[in-house]
Amino acid sequence: MFAKHAAAAIKRTQPSTLRRFTKAHHPAAAVINAHPADSSLSSVAWTNPDPGSEFTVSSKSGFLPRRDPLHVLPSYFEKLDEILHEMPILKSDGTLGLLHTGQLGARVERELPQYDVEFVFDKRILAALYRDYSMLASAYLLEPCDIQFRLTRNYGLGRRMLPSNIAVPLQTVAHRLNQKPCLEHSTFTFYNYQRKDHDMPISLNNIEPIRKFSGCDKEHNFVVGHVAAARHTDEVIDASLGILEAAQNNKRDEFNAALRKYSTAMGRVNEILAQTLQGCGDYASFRTFLNGSKAQSMFNRGVLFERNSSTEAHNYLGVGQSSSPIASLGTHLFQLSQLSPRGSLPCNDGVDLLRAPNVRSFLEHVDQQARSLGVQSYALRSS
């Protein structure tokens, strides 16, 4: 009798729209940060391979970083901070920025030092530098496309060469974080907020973006909406582990309860996303800068990094609503990729490879467990 409810839950978790999908503490939640040597734990137990990282998937912070992002860089990076502050099309003070006038590229080439980041090992600073350099790289490469799009509604071609004063530190920081040197979803959203009141919790009215491309309300809503929604991913992760645990132990009642918790938690996530993203439309005012270099007309031969020992072009996916790790989790947990042979669902196109190591590891773990246990068929089976 529960098969009908399970089918509905699987349908609602489809990530292309991030439809509806609770908290209520489940015993399985404890396994997420448990020590792998604990023999009393089942095989669904998982631990963060890099517990010192800013992104540690947990039933406390969910997919959000374990502490608020660093919003002011150390003074050594003063010029980088200054250029990023001047970068948005519309700045916070209402004046027009470098991307509006098309002067970002020249400013970067003329004024930005090639900072030595080899001495930086602090994970919080590294995460902030990764956010800032990856956003600056996207802005630099796609600035001509944004200007062309505003004039003709066509993108034209982006810059093909990323200068060494961005490319070298970006590659160094990305390597140290075990990530790719490109902008990815969690960097643009989950690691791009600051609280207005640090004593108050994360909410739509208490956070704002740190870095911006356009500075418009739609971009603001896109970032804060994803962050506020991700506040409930602790509940989603709790429930996901509960689903795996119950399926492994063939506890149908516990499985049904965990599935309901997942459905309710995703309902909260999607309610916030619907509230904030409904006015974004195609978010054309900043969408240009979220384009990747892979399979895009503006980068038909990829992107080259100046002073890179390799002459191979870089090709990476861009950022979209469906590239959220929340969407990938649902895809893996309910084995939705097998329903989409053309690879149109999140994680089928390789987007998971761009994520922070702990997030990547968690999603791989869920995928392996769901396949092994046959979660989809178990969910659709009559109780």
pLDDT of residue 281: 54
Q: Give a yes or no: residue 186 inside a domain.
A: yes
The reply to whether 42 falls in a domain is: no
25 has pLDDT over 60: no
96: helix, strand or coil = strand
The answer to whether position 330 is within a domain reads: yes
For residue 24, pLDDT beyond 80: no
CA 344 to chain centroid, in Å, comes to 18
Which of the pair, 241 or 347, is modelled with greater confidence? Answer: 241
In terms of residues, how long is the chain? 383
Residue 155 maps to a domain: yes
pLDDT averaged over every residue in the chain:
85
Q: Give the pLDDT of residue 350.
A: 76
- Percentage of the residues of the chain whose pLDDT score is greater than 70: 82
Mean pLDDT of 297-316: 78
Rg (CA), the chain: 21
Q: How confident is the model at residue 288 (pLDDT cuts 50, 70, 90)?
A: confident
pLDDT of 82 above 80: yes
Mean pLDDT of 326-334: 93
- What is the full DSSP assignment across 272-332? HHHHHHTTTTT-HHHHGGG--SSS-GGGTT-BEETT-S--PPB------GGGSHHHHHHHH
Rounded Cα–Cα distance for residues 130 and 210 (Å): 13
Element containing residue 304 per DSSP (H, E): strand 304-305
Contact 290, 228 (CB under 8 A): no
**Number of structural domains, the chain?**
1
Residue 383 and residue 378: Cα distance in Å, rounded? 9
Tell me which residue range forms the domain holding 180. 3-36+49-380
Is pLDDT above 50 for 142? yes
Instruction: Decide if 122 is inside a domain.
Output: yes
Residue 292: pLDDT band (50, 70, 90) is confident
35 pLDDT above the threshold of 70 = no
- pTM for the structure as a whole: 0.86
Predicted pLDDT at 23: 33
Q: Provide DSSP, 345-372.
A: STTTSSGGGGS-HHHHHHHHHHHHHHHH
Q: Determine contact, residues 324/226, Cβ cutoff 8 Å.
A: yes
Instruction: Answer whether residue 19 shows pLDDT above 50.
Output: no
Which of the four pLDDT bands, split at 50, 70 and 90, describes residue 291? confident
* Rounded alpha-carbon distances, angstroms, from residue 179 to 41, 70, 184: 30, 18, 10
Token look-up 């999140």 returns: 346
Residue 44 domain-assigned (yes or no): no
- Tokens standing for residue 271: 């309610």
Question: Is residue 41 a part of any domain in this protein?
Answer: no
Q: How high is the pLDDT of residue 356?
A: 93
Cα first-last separation, the chain: 6
Task: Determine, yes or no, domain membership for 318.
Answer: yes
Write out pLDDT tens, residues 350-375. 788 889 999 999 999 999 999 999 99
Q: Determine the average pLDDT of the residues in 92-118.
A: 97
How confident is the model over 157-210, as pLDDT tens digits? 989 999 999 999 999 999 999 999 999 999 999 999 999 999 999 999 999 999
